[in-house]
């Protein structure tokens, strides 16, 4: 198990160097990329506040804003945060629940939706690629950190399955399909449809070492390209669901609102966590999100109209982390005490603050 651990670490750095070498081609990625380390970046008390609210004793991560259902994304975040808090027992529980309840699909991916009130509990057996990636990523990192071969093997299996089913191809470019079914060019008139927030950039180096058969760095690159293409409009914000049928002209996918919504607002955080602080687009977002400006909000990407301002701690923590990363703005005092209410914003809070704690301690 030491073996696979060190292989991952080595390959990771190899891959990171590769990505860094691409920088001249991608003006946005000019600095050496250094993703977060994760383990040990969430304090025991913050984690305890999160765990006691959102993790059931059987390892189920509960989305309390959505009828207490669970989903593959939540299980993935739960695993990452348990690793960040170095809580081996809870990690093991969440993994146990994820393995037995979610990882049951014939193609090796996770079903995405689990409802405690339904029988059977799996109410949608489709997968969600971001959930799959988060789980594989967490398992891969945990396998290295705790030197546990079971995690690495499971991560490899899942990464292979994602590579096989979750990567789409248009000409030369590879991209992430949001799910195994329903998003490809053949599946819908405006297909392929993508969701840019499914690119968990920090995960790609790990996926590349877990399943080297697939060109994850091409997927990464395409994510950046698509993000740049999708942010050329007036508002410079991408819609959550984007049709890339017209290759150079991404547009909002049919049947979805043209909104920068709960999905997309994670993108800046993912970029920061992956170490891609130099992307110009982050400055644009920072200007919108800054205190005294619009703040974190759900925005119509065509008109710029704000549909909903998001003021929960997790969203403000995210914008504070962005300002901190861009120009060292200190984290406001009221964000330093974790007050978990809802699953999603609490998750964003811990992901943001663990990033600040690891990379930008001066902001604290």
Which of 90/347 has CB closer to another protein? 90
Decide: is 180 part of the binding site for another protein (CB under 8 A): no
Binding region for another protein (CB under 8 A) out of 4-12, 52-60, 295-303, 333-341: 52-60
Active site residue 130: yes
Decide: is 120 part of the binding site for another protein (CB under 8 A): yes
Decide: is 311 part of the binding site for another protein (CB under 8 A): no
Selected catalytic residue, list 130, 190, 259, 286: 130
Q: How far is the CB of 89 from another protein (least distance, A)?
A: 4
Angle, helix 343-359 to helix 313-327, in steps of 10 degrees:
20
Decide: is 92 part of the binding site for another protein (CB under 8 A): yes
Residue from 12, 54, 61, 93 binding another protein (CB under 8 A)? 93
Active site residue 73: yes
Binding region for another protein (CB under 8 A) out of 32-40, 82-90, 128-136, 318-326: 82-90
Decide: is 103 part of the binding site for another protein (CB under 8 A): yes
Decide: is 59 part of the binding site for another protein (CB under 8 A): yes
Which of 109/298 has CB closer to another protein? 109
Decide: is 89 part of the binding site for another protein (CB under 8 A): yes
Q: How far is the CB of 80 from another protein (least distance, A)?
A: 17
Active-site positions read: 73, 130
Binding residues for another protein (CB under 8 A):
57-59, 88-93, 95-97, 99-101, 103-106, 111, 120-122, 125, 146, 153
């Amino acid at each position: 198990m030491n073996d696979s651990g060190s292989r991952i670490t080595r390959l990771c750095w190899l891959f990171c160097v590769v990505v860094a070498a691409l920088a001249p081609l991608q003006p946005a990625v000019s600095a050496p990329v250094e993703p977060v380390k994760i383990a040990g970046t969430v304090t025991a008390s913050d984690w305890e506040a999160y765990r006691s609210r959102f993790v059931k004793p059987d390892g189920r991560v509960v989305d309390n804003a959505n009828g207490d259902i669970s989903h593959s994304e939540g299980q993935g975040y739960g695993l990452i945060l348990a690793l960040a808090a170095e809580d081996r027992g809870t990690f093991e529980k969440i993994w146990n629940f994820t393995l037995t309840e979610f990882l049951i699909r014939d193609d090796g991916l996770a079903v995405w939706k689990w409802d405690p009130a339904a029988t059977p509990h799996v109410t949608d057996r489709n997968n969600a690629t971001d959930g799959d990636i988060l789980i594989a990523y967490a398992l891969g990192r945990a396998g290295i950190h705790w030197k546990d071969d079971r995690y690495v093997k499971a991560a490899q299996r899942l990464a292979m399955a994602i590579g096989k089913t979750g990567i789409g191809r248009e000409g030369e470019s590879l991209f992430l399909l949001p799910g195994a079914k329903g998003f490809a060019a053949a599946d819908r008139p405006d297909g392929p449809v993508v969701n840019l927030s499914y690119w968990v950039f920090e995960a790609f180096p790990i996926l590349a070492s877990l399943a080297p058969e697939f060109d994850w760095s091409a997927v990464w690159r395409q994510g950046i390209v698509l993000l740049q293409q999708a942010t050329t409009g007036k508002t410079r914000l991408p819609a959550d669901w984007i049709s890339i049928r017209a290759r150079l002209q991404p547009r909002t996918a049919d049947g979805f609102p043209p909104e920068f919504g709960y999905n997309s607002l994670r993108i800046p955080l993912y970029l920061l966590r992956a170490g891609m602080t130099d992307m110009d687009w982050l400055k644009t977002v920072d200007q919108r999100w800054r205190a005294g400006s619009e703040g974190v909000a759900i925005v119509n990407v065509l008109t710029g109209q704000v549909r909903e301002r998001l003021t929960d701690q997790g969203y403000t923590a995210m914008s504070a982390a962005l300002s901190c990363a861009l120009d060292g703005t200190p984290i406001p005092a009221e964000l330093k005490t974790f007050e978990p209410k809802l699953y999603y914003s609490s998750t964003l809070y811990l992901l943001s603050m663990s990033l600040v704690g690891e990379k930008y301690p001066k902001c604290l």
